[in-house]
Amino acid sequence: MTRHATEFVQPLTFEALSGNPVVVGMFDRPDYSKIEHISLARQADLLLVAPATANILAKFAHGIADDFLTTLYLSNTRPVLIAPAMNVEMWNHPATRANLEILRERGHYFVNPGVGYQACGEVGEGRLAEPEDIVHQALHLLQRKLETGPDLAGEHILITAGPTVEDLDPVRFITNRSSGKMGYALAEAARDRGARVTLISGPVRIAPPAGVETVSVRSTRQMYDAVMSRVGDSSVFIGCAAVADFRPASPAVQKIKKLGRQSITIELEATEDIIGSVARDPQRNSRIVVGFAAESQSLLDNAETKLREKSLDLIVANDITREGAGFDVDNNVATILRRDGSRIELPLQSKRDLAEKVLDEIVGTIKQGRTASVSAQVTDQ
Ligand code: PMT
């Protein structure tokens, strides 16, 4: 605990509840046979800081070591997981954003704060994440044996998420039920694994993930333009958005009137095939292109066809008829199809867990590609 934390809760409370000693000051428990911050750092598998204030983020970012926690941080060599909590304006302050950026670039992991009513009475982003989510993420990191470090460091991953919206007239539109949850989970997981992430998002109700460049779009054409202008320096493209395949050929400038008609016909035209354009880009080189397929019938056959026709490296086929999976829910169930015809069946799980599995597969594909190109170079010589 920091000294400030003890103003809120007594160390004795934590000692009694956890059955473990609480360290606050550098010199509280002098055991001259060992230097406590070094010995604690060497015992740890993970350094979890929760709640992390704007002040602690700033000290971590700039290497200030003026108390036990900040000294422990500097001597720690294990993965660091941070759960920030602060007032919404402090969270949004450019100084805090810059510090977050530094810590993310350093490869630290975050459990993002939630949005809601805050202790200060204001409403917004900055509430400490739910304890269950923090524990879940800590266990997840420990399970993934992150000793090897963030495995997507150096990659630039471009992800599309959410629905696209096609206007019929100034008040009506065609869209779908995508909430963006799957695509945002991918963006957060890729960011936490060290990638630079650009998220092109249709209209959703989720806050943009911190540390991810998020571009908001509405129509398929806007999503296409946003993707094509940024895909150039990306090494991985993931098309998770539920993109409209058709749009009204001539959207009405004025609100369409009923005028006593019992039916009307609206002509639709095909939209841009975003993922197909990314995959067919002559400058694609070694870029990995991953698609999603949301199917209500013949799941694997339809996904296989999309994999081949759109020249994808991988496709994640989700069965949207499964209860509790697919659109606008927190969980998903999927099969990942590879180009060589092999498949990985994944059971129903949280979208974050599924995102990690998809990224594991992408890491495997990157490694294979690099091994293949090294052996090709050796053969050339
Ligand atoms: O957002 P959530 O509520 O969390 O739901 C997640 C999801 C179900 C939307 C997601 O998991 C998913 O399956 N996304 C793809 C949905 C889809 O519409 O797939 P599709 O079969 O129509 O398209 C196949 C692929 O082509 C997709 O990668 C899609 O992004 C891409 N596509 C499609 C049409 C188009 N014009 N351009 C594209 O790039």
CATH, residue 312: 3.40.50.10300
Q: Is residue 178 part of a domain?
A: yes
Q: Which amino acid is at 281?
A: D
Structure tokens at 246: 């058709």
- Asked if residue 41 is part of any domain, the answer here is yes
Please give the pLDDT value at position 134: 92
Per-residue pLDDT reduced to its tens digit, 329-345: 989 999 999 999 999 99
Distance CA 318, CA 299 (A): 7
**From ligand 1's centre to the CA of 342, what distance in Å?**
21
**Does the pLDDT value for residue 147 go beyond 50?**
no
Residue 29 pLDDT class (50, 70, 90 cuts):
low
pLDDT at position 124? 83
Count up the domains in the chain and report the number: 2
Beta carbons within 8 Å of 281's beta carbon, 6+ residues apart = 231, 287
Q: Atom 19 (ligand 1): residue with closest C-alpha?
A: 293
Say whether 120 is catalytic.
yes
The answer on 313 and 177 residing in a single domain is: yes
Domain termination site, one of 93, 122, 146: 146
Q: What region, left, alpha or beta, does residue 265 occupy, with left being phi > 0 and alpha being psi -120 to 50 degrees?
A: beta
Together in a domain, 188 and 318: yes
Same domain, 339 and 227: yes
Question: Are residue 239 and residue 297 in the same domain, yes or no?
Answer: yes
The distance of Cα 147 from the centroid of its chain, to the nearest Å, equals 21
In a domain, 372, yes or no: no
Contact 50, 128 (CB under 8 A): yes
Residues 101 and 181 in one domain: no
pLDDT band at 31 (very low <50, low <70, confident <90, very high): low
Q: What percent of the chain has pLDDT over 90?
A: 70
End-of-domain residue from the set 108, 127, 146: 146
47 and 10, same structural domain? yes
Is the pLDDT confidence value at 107 over 80?
Answer: no
Domain at 20, CATH number: 3.40.50.1950
Q: Distances in Å between the alpha carbon of 233 and those of 36, 191, 237?
A: 46, 17, 11
- Whether 39 and 169 map to the same domain: the answer is no
Domain end among 146, 180, 196: 146
**Is any atom of ligand 1 closer than 6 Å to the C-beta of 294?**
yes
pLDDT tens string 237-288: 999 999 999 999 999 999 999 999 999 999 999 999 999 999 999 999 999 9
Residue 48 has pLDDT above 60, yes or no: yes
Specify whether 240 is located in the same domain as 280: yes
Is 264 domain-assigned?
yes
Specify whether 121 is located in the same domain as 160: no
- Same domain for 167 and 124, yes or no, is no
The rounded Cα 287 to chain-centroid distance in angstroms is 19
Ligand 1 atom closest to the CA of 179, numbered from 1: 3
With respect to residue 381, please indicate whether it lies within any of the assigned structural domains: no
- Both tokens of 176, joined, read 């779908």
For residue 126, being part of any structural domain is answered with yes
In a domain, 312, yes or no: yes
Sign of CA dihedral 243, 246, 252, 256: negative
DSSP string covering 174-217: E-----SHHHHHHHHHHHHTT-EEEEEE-S-SSPPPTTSEEEE-
- Tell me the average pLDDT across 342-360: 93
Between the CA of 33 and the centroid of ligand 1 the distance, in Å, is 60
The reply to whether 227 and 295 lie within a common domain is yes
Ligand 1 atom having least distance to the Cα of 326: 8
Q: Domain range for residue 180?
A: 150-367
Question: Is 374 a member of any domain?
Answer: no
- Whole-number CA gyration radius for the chain: 24
| Same-domain pairing of 81 and 197 | no
CA–centroid distance, 118 to ligand 1, in Å, is: 36
Tell which one of 158, 178, 301, 305 to mutate to probe ligand 1, the residue whose CB is within 8 A of the most ligand atoms: 178
Question: CA 31, CA 39: separation in Å to the nearest integer?
Answer: 11
